[in-house]
Structure 1
Amino acid sequence: MDNATDKSERLQSNEEVIEELTRDLESSCIKPNESTKSRNVADDSWDVDKEHNEGNDDNAQSTDPSEDVDEDFLKDRDLLLTEAEQEAMKCEAEKLKQAGNDFFKNGEYVQATSQYTQALQICPLAYNKERSILYANRAAAKAKCQTEKDSAISDCTKAIELNSSYLKAYVRRAQLYEETDKLDEALEDFKKVLTFDPNHTEANHATRRLPPLINERNEKLKTEMLGKLKDLGNMVLKPFGLSTNNFELQQDPNSGGYSVKFNQNPI
């Protein structure tokens, strides 16, 4: 009887611990807005480069991994739509984009991503400009979710495919490349930006700032690689009583080629 009582008390204690750990879980979850504020926008090309940059930047939110756009399905669907129906669906997608913009400005990036995805699932494929902006906006929202940067890069690439002169998409992708340590790709995108706008401040700074960083990284990688090769060589030579110190590379000043010189007693 005492054992049963002790067991019951232990179970109760576990439940209390679980309750304590999960007490604030519900309040910490992101809650969808009960209503979406309407807004009139004169410029239909507005995108979230006009960003709300305060707060939430460091929050590692995660978007729904199931969010995707099946363009094969959309292609088949669009064949069955009249011109008027396509126009109506474009307008519906525009409303979803504006809702996404509102969520973005409020720092609700997961909800913004969802709205842009729904818009992409509705907007007919014929409207390249509108779809390009939606992909770029979704990239901006994903970029705010620290675990979604690779997916954001993919969205920027899609935006550029739909609009090859979309400067803001190049800038956003370049920033994401740099944030994910893809420095060569970032430099190429910033160079591309300068072909559209030679006076672009960020791109000009980046094209001067990134090459030394790339060289520094390459030198570090080369040093690490040579170190690993040396360790491997020493492991192979050790049974013969030798090491890589017994071998010296000498460059021919005339040809630029290298030869290996063996030293029986290296210094």
Structure 2
Amino acid sequence: MSQERRSEAQVQKEEGNDFFKKQEYESAIKSYSRALKLCPKDFVKDRAILFSNRAACRMKKSENEEAILDSNKALELHPQYLKALLRRAELYEKVDKLEEALADYQKVVEMDPSQHPARAACLRLPEQIKEKNEKMKEEMIGKLKELGNMVLKPFGLSTENFQLNQDPNSGGYNINFKQGPSSS
């Protein structure tokens, strides 16, 4: 019975592969989904491949979050599945989850150092992550200044009355008050 269901699932998988080759991604997704319903849970690698294939279809349709979920399921079933890990890394990069992408690319390189796209990403992403974090920090400081100015305005003050100086040794900050005309 179990082997019979596995065979039926394989037929659906092949049908999905044919649809994928013809770029009929929605039909391929339906075939892979039917195959997942048929494939017994104890055929872990088969199921991982089906989830990964469905993720590839969703990726082609720019359904990135759904593709990440399918990639996660594939990797839960088969953590050493290189193709699913590479796909998820690429998807994470597309949705601007750069830290997660870098972690996946690093795992790929550990598993197979010959994966040049993953190696290139490991060199490229740290700088992009740094830039993204700097931009977020600047945005946060801007929002904090706006909030500070709202609170200080009734007292005739603004954030311009306060000077932050970073201690180069500890990395901490000292705040100095400077008297003067407030800017509104």
TM category, shorter: over 0.9
The CA deviation at 1:210 is 0.8
Say whether 1:160 aligns with 2:36: no
Give the 3 Å change call, closer, same or farther, for CA 128–233 of structure 1 in structure 2.
Answer: same
Bigger Rg, structure 1 or 2: 1
TM-score (norm 2): 0.95
Q: Which amino acid aligns with 2:37?
A: Q
Q: Which has the higher helix share?
A: 2
Q: Which amino acid aligns with 1:216?
A: E
Give the 3 Å change call, closer, same or farther, for CA 231–132 of structure 1 in structure 2.
Answer: same
Distance 2:161 2:39 in 1: 68
The CA deviation at 1:255 is 4.4
Q: Which amino acid aligns with 2:81?
A: Y
Secondary structure in structure 2 of the residue aligned to 1:212 = helix
Say whether 1:195 aligns with 2:118: no
**Structure 1 unaligned regions, length at least 5:** 1-84
Give the 3 Å change call, closer, same or farther, for CA 202–266 of structure 1 in structure 2.
Answer: farther
Tell me which of 107, 120, 123 is aligned to 2:23: 107
CA RMSD of aligned residues (A): 1.4
Tell me which of 129, 139, 145 is aligned to 1:214: 129
The CA deviation at 1:257 is 3.0
Q: Which amino acid aligns with 1:238?
A: K
TM-score (norm 1): 0.66
Aligned twin of 2:120: 205
Distance 2:169 2:14 in 1: 67
Runs of 4+ in 1 over 6 A off after TM superposition: none
Secondary structure in structure 2 of the residue aligned to 1:265 = coil
Say whether 1:145 aligns with 2:61: yes
Distance 2:165 2:18 in 1: 65
Q: Which amino acid aligns with 1:138?
A: R
Aligned twin of 1:223: 138
Say whether 1:92 aligns with 2:8: yes
Give the 3 Å change call, closer, same or farther, for CA 186–266 of structure 1 in structure 2.
Answer: farther
Distance 2:167 2:11 in 1: 70
Aligned twin of 1:249: 164
